[in-house]
A and B are shown apart, each in its own frame.
Chain A
Amino acid sequence: GDSVTQMEGPVTLSEEAFLTINCTYTATGYPSLFWYVQYPGEGLQLLLKATKADDKGSNKGFEATYRKETTSFHLEKGSVQVSDSAVYFCALSAYQGGSEKLVFGKGTKLTVNP
């Protein structure tokens, strides 16, 4: 079935460091791809998305490009801030019995130190 694999955490960086969180997927067809973020004590919120190959999603300085040839959607940010400390989830859209749902990776916890 469809699945998402993302790099295990936790990841600890200093402020202004470069961030990469790897995400690869297995899917039939051409899913949409997403990054969600969960700040401490909160639910998930959509960070960015891409709906077709070579699309680049971006938001709040984060970027990810839909790479069909490598089945990847890696999250990057050039200069992280303490406020970026959160858990990041990669996800894809998938069909189950004719209905659409999201399949999530296990999450990567990021801590940014001042």
Chain B
Amino acid sequence: DVKVTQSSRYLVKRTGEKVFLECVQDMDHENMFWYRQDPGLGLRLIYFSYDVKMKEKGDIPEGYSVSREKKERFSLILESASTNQTSMYLCASSSTGGSRNEQFFGPGTRLTVL
């Protein structure tokens, strides 16, 4: 089974702190994604990566950055957290070959910024 793990289920940070959200997948997937999920807005893509050290902006990249130094790990960074970044963050991965569109999701990290 594909497994996507996220470093924390719940996180509480203060405004202005630098926040790291980590995601690891164990199926050698080329593609990795970060979304945020908010009530009434569904899932919105923040950043994605199709290869190591490669990144592309999604629909709402402002206030975020990412890092992919190894194939299995994709980190989301909030350089200076703000209250409007309080949300559920979901990581996903997918393979380039075969069922390339199918994304496998982690359990999510619920981030609260005070």
Contacts and interface: CB of A to CB of B under 8 A. Distances in A.
B56 A99 contact: yes
A interface, by DSSP: helix, strand, loop or mixed? strand
Interface in A60-114: 89, 93, 96-97, 99-102, 104-107
Given A43-B4, A89-B43, A99-B56, A32 B106 contact: no
A38 B69 CA distance: 29
Interface size, B (range) = 20 to 34
Contacts of A105: 42
Interface string B68-105: 00000000000000000000001010000000111111
Interface string A20-43: 000000000000101010000111
Interface residues of A, number: 22
A104 B43 contact: yes
Contact of B105 (A45, A49, A96, A100): A45
Interface of B: 4, 33, 40-43, 45, 48, 50, 56, 58, 90, 92, 100-108
17 contacts: A34-B102, A42-B107, A43-B4, A43-B92, A43-B107, A44-B43, A44-B90, A89-B42, A96-B56, A97-B56, A99-B48, A101-B48, A101-B58, A102-B45, A104-B42, A105-B42, A106-B42
